[in-house]
Amino acid sequence: MTTTLDVPKIGESAPTTDIEGTQTEELRVLERSLEHRSIRRDNWTVMMFGVAIVALFFSIAAIGFGVRAIDEAKGRPQAVPSAGAPAGVPAVVPAPAPAALTSVTLSDMKVTPSSVSVPAGKYTVTINNAGMMTHELLVFHTDIAPADLPIGPDGKVNEDAPGFKISDGDDLDPGASQSRVIDLSQPGTYLFVCNLPGHFAAGMHSTVTVK
């Protein structure tokens, strides 16, 4: 018996098997899947980076507004609501009134009023001698600087000018005191002085401004 074998002729290619085609298609599918995953991963990274940038911007803006609000609150006077003011509407805070003149303390070569700026008016003032020497208190209404006032050879300011001296009192021994009314009705500058010999020249005076 003779067996015939089908031997490919020279120049003819052997037929491609289905296995090779299947493997090639699977490789292409795998490549496309990997490309899609890479694209999705890149898109997700870009999106998260953008969200982080936006969040950082809003955080910086919030911090800036907070610091500004704190600074404004520190520089703004606190209003005290009045009983008749509507809820949520702050009342206007009035400016503090100037302190009244209530006392003058005399110490050795120093005059100390309880206030150096007062509204115009008449004041009942208690004068205390806290020094170790006898002193007095005179009040002059003048715009002349203390250094420019005329001083006599006895070291006293000339008290005789008309309208110059507005208040005078007794000499006070150490520890003594007295009360008297001082008329400060006219706005201007008033000079509170101890005018015993040599005391004014030694600096025993103080200025009070009346508004």
For the chain of 211 residues, list the mean pLDDT of each consecutive stretch of 10.
51 53 67 66 70 74 72 60 58 68 97 96 97 96 90 86 85 96 96 95 95 93
Q: Find how far residue 192's CA is from the centre of its chain.
A: 36
**pLDDT given at position 211:** 93
Cα(137)–Cα(129) distance, integer angstroms? 10
Q: In this structure, are residues 193 and 140 in contact, taking their beta carbons and an 8 Å threshold?
A: yes
Instruction: Output DSSP code: residue 120.
Output: S
- Pull the structure tokens for residue 147: 């250094």
Q: How many Cβ atoms from other residues are within 10 Å of residue 131's Cβ? A: 19
Q: In this structure, are residues 113 and 104 in contact, taking their beta carbons and an 8 Å threshold?
A: yes
Instruction: Output DSSP code: residue 209.
Output: E
The SS3 of residue 189 is strand
**pLDDT given at position 142:** 92
Q: Where are the alpha helices (DSSP H) in the chain?
A: 18-75
- Pull the structure tokens for residue 174: 């150490």
Instruction: Output DSSP code: residue 157.
Output: B
Number of residues that make up the chain = 211
- pTM for the model stands at 0.55
Q: Would you state the CATH architecture of domain 103-210?
A: Sandwich (2.60)
> Dihedral sign, CA of 162, 165, 167, 169?
negative
